Chains A and B, each alone.
Chain A
Amino acid sequence: MDRDDIPPGMTAQPLSRRAALRHGAATTLAAARLLAPALFVGCSTGIPPRQQTVSVGLLHSQTGTTAVGGRSLRDIEMHAFERINAAGGILGRRVEISAPNPRSRSELRVAKARQMLDRGAVAVFGCWTSGARKSVLPLFEEYKRLLLYAVQYEGNESSPYCVYGGMTPNQQILPLLDWLTGAAGGEKKRIFLVGSDYVFPRTANFITKKYLKEKGLVPVGEEYVPLGDRNFSAVVKKIREAPADCVINTVNGDSNIGLFAALAEAGIEPAWLPVISTSIAEDELRSLLPEQVVGHYAASCYFQSLDTDANRQWVKGFQNEFGYDRVTGDPLEPAWCLVHLWQQAVEKAGTFETEAVRQAFREGLEFAGPGGRVRLDPKTQHTTKYFRLGQIRPDRQFHIVHQSRGPIEPDPYPQIAFPGWSCDWTQDGVVRGAEVDIDGDV
């Protein structure tokens, strides 16, 4: 504005600090009044709200002897939690997974479990062998938190702080023996027992011997090799010399490579001497040469080849996430079901607090898993299972040759082996029966 343009009666003055402040404050207040509704009502800050989290541990060895199974279990459990998180989490909280590596070493396993519990893990899914589970269970009882164990085991154990998702002997060993000694299995009478030297094979074989004794049978041989050992030539020699008409194999982990190599080298054919394994699933089959294992059997609750829509969808989902050639198998399916059963329990309890979650178990939880509907037995904290027998195919999958009519109720203390023992966590817990010496005479 030129000085000449100033209307008469007005004088042009430079804007003083005081005047600027006065005008500035007035303008700011007016602008704030105008813009406030738009700025503060219903406007997002643009920063996604941080969802509250809850910590869950996965205790699986990712290196060492039991790594193959451990890694697969870790993956399926992560997959389950990722899907749960994508659907909004549990009780509105995002599940944060911690998966340390115990390296298949007992002392590390205990240390890692303690570390996770100290850091606030509300539950831990984990362990592969019974030895592993037994080594950490006292810790969970001390911290009063839940361990969810997905692998088949020998029974003869119950802890209020453990949920057992795998098969018990009455869901695996006993139906297998029924089939084997029946017409469908060729009425086998000369059964040879071979296993890794640890608690599961020894207890499973103890139950087997008790069962066979009731039928008037005695195993023609029983041999154990240290876990991880691959030298089976002496064992196979004994199998030939017995002579056995079938082998029940409770060998675990990489040792199976040595066992089947030795069997093939000795010219043993599944047609006349079938091996029925209790701890071989699709994952383990990848390490075994098809020409050495085709025709042999595995006893399980689930096989990837199960021909149902639910299973096909589940397998596809897993492969889409982890790779087109990944395989599912027995411990993966129970692990998947366990995660969802625990989720249900937490949601029923409305809290992650262990005692409330255990209380929710009593309401009878069910989940439609890929292998069929499973129910969590409130008395034993074990799950119902189908029994399935698969024959190994050349494509490293199983042809299901037998399946139980329906899910079998769990019994961690089969009376044939543990008379007087029972478990009911809705009542008095474990009722002790006669002392049983697993390594003693049957």
Chain B
Amino acid sequence: MFRPESWYWLYDIPPARLAGLFIAAFVGFYWLGAIIIRPILRQFVKHTASCNDIVGYVLSCFCVFYGLLLGLIAVTAYQNVADANENVTREAAALSALYEDVSRYPAPYGQNLRWLLRDYTRYLIKYGWPLQQRGIVPEEGTIRAEAVHDQLLEFQPRTPAEEIVHAEALRQFNNFLECRRMRLFSVTSALPASMWYVMILGAVFNIAICWLFDMRFLTQLILGGILAAYLGMMMHLIFDMNQPFRGDVSITAEPFEMLYARMNEG
């Protein structure tokens, strides 16, 4: 049975090379089919008058549905990446606001909390992000978030001003936790296997219909190859956006890196 995650090793291949591989695979499949399968398929339409018109009509109908499907899936995948990206930015913003809030705490709480937030950010950049890029949910960030929570709850405000700052810090912390949780969910979020079935079978049908055209062999190879190359590019694009933290179209740790640099300015 086809399991999309069993193909995730492909993300380890550099993006340009992976795109080339997708295109080569689709074009290769088309050409191979044109050599081996096309003569068999052509038996069905060989002596039909104006067979190219019929094949062209079927292909047009098919392409409408398949194009719509691919387009919608590509948009969904992109939206998924965009949402996760926005979430990451919101998490970094909440962390930044929290860092500012706890800077107003008296010693040693303020310093402890600043250290803990820096520690969380550093872990995320150095350890968490590389794990996410491998599709693994980083576990030890939770420990660091818990440490921040414990330290926040340990602080007992003594003045009305401290109460206001503490309430705001707790609100920011909850924001941060919410964004963090959503980021962790999106690490493993991906298109379901059934969508991949439909996409791959659709591509195979698309190519198979093209094999039915009656034309010069070289023209068949060139025109069909162009179509297959474009299909490969589309598949690569969707595969690339399939997981928000993997591949070329993925979310970087830049918001956290900028925040960490600011935290260390002193």
Q: Which residues does A use to contact B, with CB under 8 Å?
A: 14-17, 20-21, 46-47, 62-64, 67-68, 71, 75, 82, 99-101, 286-287, 322-326
Choose among B17, B107, B266 the residue that contacts A324 (Cβ–Cβ < 8 A).
B266
What's the minimum C-beta distance from B139 to chain A, rounded to whole angstroms? 8
B119 touches A287 (CB 8 A): no
Contact residues in A for B17 (Cβ distance below 8 Å): 46
CB of B250 within 8 Å of the partner chain = no
Size of the B side of the interface (Cβ < 8 Å), in residues, is: 30
The answer to whether A100 touches B12, judged by C-beta atoms less than 8 angstroms apart, is: no
Among the stretches B58-66, B69-77, B143-151, the one at the interface with A is: B143-151
- CB atoms of A75 and B119 under 8 A apart: yes
With known contacts A322-B119, A323-B264, A20–B108 Cβ distance under 8 A: no
Q: Which residue of chain A has the shortest Cβ distance to B149 in the bound complex?
A: A63
Are A67 and B12 neighbours in the complex by a CB distance under 8 Å? no
Which of chain A's residues has its CB closest to B31's CB? A24
Known interface pairs A15-B218, A325-B266; 4 further A-B residue pairs with C-beta atoms within 8 A, sorted by A's residue number: A63-B143, A75-B119, A323-B118, A325-B111
> A-contacting residues of B (Cβ < 8 Å)?
12-14, 17, 35, 39, 107-108, 111-112, 114-116, 118-119, 122, 126, 140, 143-144, 146-147, 150, 216-218, 221, 263-264, 266
A46 partner residues in chain B, CB cutoff 8 A = 14, 17
With a cutoff of 8 Å between Cβ atoms, the chain A residues found around residue B39 in the complex are 17
The answer to whether A323 and B115 have CB atoms under 8 Å apart is yes
Chain A residues with Cβ below 8 Å from B147 are 62-63, 67, 71
Cβ–Cβ < 8 Å partners of B119 in chain A: 71, 75, 322
Nearest A residue to B17 by beta-carbon distance?
A: A46
Q: Is the interface of A mostly helix, strand, loop or mixed?
A: loop
Closest to A254 in B: B154
User: What A residues does B221 contact at CB under 8 A?
Assistant: 20
Most B CB contacts (10 A, CB to CB) among A46, A64, A82, A101 go to A101
Cβ–Cβ < 8 Å partners of A101 in chain B: 143, 146
Question: Chain A: which residue is nearest B118 at the CB level?
Answer: A323
B212 to chain A, nearest CB (A): 15
Beta-carbon contact of A14 and B143 below 8 Å: no
Q: Is the CB of B218 within 8 A of A20?
A: yes
Bound-state Cα–Cα, A71 to B115, Å: 10
Question: What's the minimum C-beta distance from B177 to chain A, rounded to whole angstroms?
Answer: 15
Do the beta carbons of B107 and A286 come within 8 Å of each other? Answer: yes
- Chain B residues, CB < 8 A from A67: 147, 150
A8 to B35, CA, bound (A): 33
Picked from A14, A47, A62, A324, the residue with its CB within 8 Å of the CB of B264 is: A324
